[in-house]
Structure 1
Amino acid sequence: MRRLKNIFRLGVKELWSLARDPVMLILIVYVFTFSIYTAATAVPETLHNAPIAIVDEDASPLSGRIVSAFYPPYFAPPQRITLSEMDAGMDSGAYTFVLNIPPDFQRDVLAGRNPEIQLNIDATRMSQAFSGNVYVQQIVMAEVNEFVRRYRGGDVLPVDLALRARFNPTLERSWFGALVEVINSVTMLSLILTGAALIREREHGTIEHLLVMPVTPGEIMVAKVWSMGLVVLVAATLSLLLVVRGWLQVPIEGSIPLFLAGASLCLFAMTSLGIFMATLARSMPQFGLLLMLTLMPLQMLSGGLTPRESMPELVQNVMLIAPTTHFVDLSQAILYRGAGIEVVWKQFLALLVIGTVLFVLSLARFRKTISQMA
């Protein structure tokens, strides 16, 4: 009971220290609110409201059909400009695409002369230019073919492909971006808060006060783990309920308590890793550099942004020792597909084993650091 009281009181001390750190509080609020909103809404379709202008030198029914074929959400309503305005508009960046329909275009098409349409593209807007030129070609060719045939239709294919998009029927990217950012935020803040808590003790000189108290290094470390993990867990819960489900209107299919249970195991592992990194660093700038070297590979190679199946087999096998890999797997299974414990128990077990190993290693390193300071 005395050990439990020490752990509880030391954890409360960590919470009070965090409450008196306005920078960390602002970081927590920002990461679980505006950062998630930005990640969800700043990943639109590759081609979204692309600005396009059309130089219609033909003024025929066919050119009118082509002009009316460009509309949101892929393209902004096309602006009709003259040939003399085309270069100036491209130079100023007003248009990504400018389509120049030459004179007598309809007459040449009906006569079978294979006329050419000039498509000018602002290639500095790389993502829109890369996919947009294909869209423009398909739209123009479809309108020309339908005009020549005098009816809308196409060849009947021998195979009928029935597409069913599961878990995200409308293919809304904000659903993916919001939940992925929550997962990444849990990983990032668990490292930052625990590492900063230990370095803050060293910089303020309060670690020496703890050394003369009747507490063990294990109690100090467990207190930091549960207190900082609790802060991240509460922030993640509020973010899922208020920001993701409330503000962004993203449906969550699975059990939030089950997700939080998995997040708790991930926090156990990541907070232990954060303390280990803090024992290696001597100041917050050094810890920040270590964080960059650690956090970016964990987030990029864990399967959150890119499916692990598309990575080299060596990378897939190496990342199995990272807690974020299993956390991403169970989070996507629960939040996206509504999986139960019978599906994700392997990821839970892996997180428990990895967390235990990291905790033991971090505790050994922490004891060594404490003994050197004493």
Structure 2
Amino acid sequence: MRRHLLNIYRLGVKELWSLLRDPAMLVLIVYVFTVSVYTAAKAMPETLHNAPIAIVDEDGSQLSQRIAGAFYPPHFKAPEHIGMQAMDAGMDAGRYTFVLDIPPHFQRDVLAGRGAQLQLNVDATRMSQAFTGSGYVQQIVMAEVQEFAQRYRGASAPPVDLALRMRFNPALDKAWFGSLMQIINNVTMLSIILTGAALIREREHGTVEHLLVMPVTPAEIMLAKVWSMALVVLAAAAVSLLLVVQGWLAVPVEGSRALFLAGAALHLFATTSMGIFMATLARSMPQFGLLMVLVVLPLQMLSGGTTPRESMPAAVRDMMLAAPTTHFVELGQAILYRGAGLEVVWPQLLTLAVIGAVLFTLALARFRKALGAMA
């Protein structure tokens, strides 16, 4: 047993030295866990930001001016006052997402209690802004009309008081979500890349044949690649979480970082095994890159980190239970966002260990077969 452990350790050190002599991979690791995390946090735009709006004011009253003055950045651009004849042309040209038409005698009808009507024209080709912005426009207009009709600024007491409590992200700051989810996604992506590239690099350089004549087993070779590459990714993720997320971006982490890294280690056991399995299927790095696209993108998009699993079809949800990323995303969100402890996330930890064992067994069988073909 001692000899096997020494072989695994020495082969793993060899992998680390090989990685240190690969500047492209080192740059990729640094970029993925620094610049990529920062840009993912800051590049998540608001759903409604600087939406162009125009107002056709046919009333010219105090109320219509109040309504026009209620639209301002950052949600809307300063309203542009246009005539009726310019409304359709402006929307056809894509200059305005919203055009609010205030008809003549609008203020008089409001004060008289008659049914006053406004027309809101929306460019629905800008789907996200159109859906969110139309609701914003309605709320703003109704608030201004109600305040003007009551002749004082303030809302009447509603019969029911709805108390909203935003938990885990009170300010709804998108950077909190983007940065942490980017680390989770990068752990998956980079672990597959590093282990797969290490095996393909040895095959291209002819060093696999050297390993075949050494007194080492395929399991030792594979375990060495798993622990060495997983250690690199785990260390990079820990530094990124501490320096970039908590330090640079000032994102609070609710739960135990040690527990999250323990879950990441189990996840890395599964994904590094997956990377070795994929490397045995590919004959070159370009082939491995194409295979990565087919595997990593579905893993990241369907694991719950980009889209909630509840909104996916039942067949997709059931199928993705076999993917380690599903359980890692659930574990990471529970620990980092909600401060969950071991008593909450132990099912995900156990599932990751089982999936990792299955993937390691399959990858080892495929690795042995590939080595046998080379011998």
For the Cα contact (< 8 Å) 1:269–1:356, is it kept in 2? Answer: yes
Residue in structure 2 matched with residue 311 of structure 1 by the alignment: 312
Residue in structure 2 matched with residue 370 of structure 1 by the alignment: 371
1:1-374 correspondence to structure 2 within 5 Å? 1-81=2-82, 90=91, 93-111=94-112, 114-152=115-153, 156-374=157-375
The CA distance in 1 between the partners of 2:257 and 2:251, in whole Å, is 13
Quote how far apart the aligned CAs of 1:140 are.
1.4
The CA distance in 1 between the partners of 2:56 and 2:247, in whole Å, is 45
The CA distance in 2 between the partners of 1:89 and 1:243, in whole Å, is 44
Q: 1:85 to 1:161 in 2, by over 3 A?
A: same
**Secondary structure of 2:171's match?**
coil
Q: 1:184 to 1:148 in 2, by over 3 A?
A: same
145-154 vs 325-334, which moves further: 145-154
The CA distance in 2 between the partners of 1:270 and 1:118, in whole Å, is 55
**Secondary structure of 1:76's match?**
coil
The CA distance in 2 between the partners of 1:200 and 1:185, in whole Å, is 21
TM-score by length of 2: 0.91
Corresponding letter in the other structure for 1:126: M
Q: How many residues align?
A: 374
Q: 1:13 to 1:48 in 2, by over 3 A?
A: same
For the Cα contact (< 8 Å) 1:52–1:75, is it kept in 2? Answer: yes
**Secondary structure of 2:120's match?**
strand
The CA distance in 2 between the partners of 1:66 and 1:197, in whole Å, is 63
Quote how far apart the aligned CAs of 1:97 are.
2.4
Quote how far apart the aligned CAs of 1:194 are.
0.7
143-152 vs 358-367, which moves further: 143-152
TM-score by length of 1: 0.91
292-301 vs 116-125, which moves further: 116-125
The CA distance in 2 between the partners of 1:124 and 1:34, in whole Å, is 33
Gaps of 5+ in 1: none
For the Cα contact (< 8 Å) 1:54–1:98, is it kept in 2? Answer: yes
**Secondary structure of 2:338's match?**
coil
Quote how far apart the aligned CAs of 1:221 are.
0.8
The CA distance in 2 between the partners of 1:31 and 1:84, in whole Å, is 52
Quote how far apart the aligned CAs of 1:14 are.
1.7
Quote how far apart the aligned CAs of 1:19 are.
2.4
The CA deviation string for residues 86-128 of structure 1, in whole angstroms up to 9 with x for no partner, is: 5665566554323343444323443556454443433332211
Q: 1:53 to 1:29 in 2, by over 3 A?
A: farther
**Secondary structure of 2:25's match?**
helix
Q: What is the identity percentage for the equivalent residue pairs of Structure 1 and Structure 2? A: 74
Q: 1:136 to 1:6 in 2, by over 3 A?
A: same
Quote how far apart the aligned CAs of 1:357 are.
1.7
For the Cα contact (< 8 Å) 1:58–1:101, is it kept in 2? Answer: yes
For the Cα contact (< 8 Å) 1:44–1:174, is it kept in 2? Answer: no
75-84 vs 157-166, which moves further: 75-84
The CA deviation string for residues 237-263 of structure 1, in whole angstroms up to 9 with x for no partner, is: 111112111222110011111111110
For the Cα contact (< 8 Å) 1:194–1:275, is it kept in 2? Answer: yes
Gaps of 5+ in 2: none
**Secondary structure of 2:55's match?**
strand
98-107 vs 215-224, which moves further: 98-107
Quote how far apart the aligned CAs of 1:2 are.
3.2
The CA distance in 2 between the partners of 1:83 and 1:244, in whole Å, is 50
For the Cα contact (< 8 Å) 1:100–1:118, is it kept in 2? Answer: yes
Quote how far apart the aligned CAs of 1:152 are.
4.2
The CA deviation string for residues 110-162 of structure 1, in whole angstroms up to 9 with x for no partner, is: 35564544434333322111221221122113222332232345564443222
For the Cα contact (< 8 Å) 1:323–1:354, is it kept in 2? Answer: yes
**Secondary structure of 1:99's match?**
strand
The CA distance in 1 between the partners of 2:122 and 2:313, in whole Å, is 35
The CA deviation string for residues 274-327 of structure 1, in whole angstroms up to 9 with x for no partner, is: 101111111222222222222122222222223333334443333222211221
Corresponding letter in the other structure for 2:344: V
The CA distance in 1 between the partners of 2:30 and 2:95, in whole Å, is 37
Quote how far apart the aligned CAs of 1:163 are.
1.6
Corresponding letter in the other structure for 2:125: T
For the Cα contact (< 8 Å) 1:269–1:323, is it kept in 2? Answer: yes
Corresponding letter in the other structure for 1:365: R
Quote how far apart the aligned CAs of 1:368 are.
1.0
Corresponding letter in the other structure for 1:233: L
